[in-house]
Amino acid sequence: MTENNLTIGVVGAGQMGSGIAQVCAMAGMTVLLNDVSEQAVARGIDTIAGQLDRLVTKDKLSASARDEALRHLKPAASLEQLAQCDCVIEAATENETLKLDIFRRLDAIVQPNAVLASNTSSISITRIAAATQRPDKVIGMHFMNPVPVMPLIEVIRGLHTSDAVCQAVTLLAKQIGKVPVEVKDGFGFVANRLLIPMINEAIFCLYEGLASAEDIDTVMKLGANHPIGPLALADLIGLDTCLAIMAVLHEGFDDSKYRPCPLLKQMVDAGLLGRKTGQGFFRYNT
């Protein structure tokens, strides 16, 4: 998996998956984008085309480069169409049962030497790898949101991930213009073990009436030099994803300091998930 002409499969055409597909296609790799339905894949490709069009409008990308990237992007109606991929990156919902099922199916479909990577935000890579017959070829590639903008990829080695696979994925990250940082396989890894509890604590501040959502975010932007406040960031990530990560931390460490705020649970129950639903801690035009 060291040559430039790689074929990358991406499972999940939502916010993260479409971003991953976009950066891989822009790097000249053939990308097969899969989701649960052809309509979901079509929406993902439309999202990517729109993002590329905006880059052209802002003179950050040439029209010919946009067209070339779109030529590298192909829909895959089923996982079976990913059989010849050099690497498959799973970017499905942060649900362990779902991810384990996807990896079991991919293991039976994709060529034996292919790498299987997960964009999981918090779930153990070792546990995901155990669902396959190739645990040495399973690794975490935790992209940051929004993928085309954020440079970091956490490269997470499971207990059995081989040195060769880690090196190949590190090179892949560099080929798509990202900065890979290798971390151990621990609950939440590094980024979300630090970030999501901070967001959860900001939600507690709101829940306890210490300040308004706007003022909590202003405090962190002006007082801690954060480019975006924690509640607006939660809306960007998705409150359901924040809750899922807190649940993994709470269960994994069995420590009450990781308990999800009741307000976070309530908002997820109400379907107020942030930007993707038009309302979270703030309202958005959809």
- pLDDT per residue as tens digits for the range 111-144: 999 999 999 999 999 999 999 999 999 999 999 9
In tens, the pLDDT along 76-114 reads: 999 999 999 999 999 999 999 999 999 999 999 999 999
Our answer to whether residue 64 is catalytic in this structure is no
The Cβ of residue 52 has, within 10 Å, a number of other Cβ atoms equal to 23
- Residues β-bridged to residue 87: 8, 115
- Decide if pLDDT at 2 tops 80: no
Give the span between the Cα atoms of 134 and 67, in whole angstroms: 36
Active-site residue identified among 18, 124, 154, 250: 154
Our answer to whether residue 192 is catalytic in this structure is yes
pLDDT score, position 1: 65
Helix (H) or strand (E) holding 157: strand 152-157
Contact, 217 vs 232, CB < 8 A?
yes
Domains plus CATH for the chain? Answer: 7-184 (3.40.50.720), 193-276 (1.10.1040.10)
13 in a known ligand binding site: yes
- Binned at pLDDT 50, 70 and 90, residue 237 comes out as very high
Give this prediction's pTM.
0.92
Our answer to whether residue 80 is catalytic in this structure is no
pLDDT score, position 91: 97
In tens, the pLDDT along 10-32 reads: 999 999 999 999 999 999 999 99
Our answer to whether residue 154 is catalytic in this structure is yes
In tens, the pLDDT along 172-222 reads: 999 999 999 999 999 999 999 999 999 999 999 999 999 999 999 999 999
28 burial (CB, 10 Å; 0-12 / 13-18 / 19+) is middle
Percent above pLDDT 70 for the chain: 98
**35, 91, 116, 2: CA torsion to nearest 10:** 100
- Binned at pLDDT 50, 70 and 90, residue 286 comes out as low
Contact, 156 vs 125, CB < 8 A?
yes
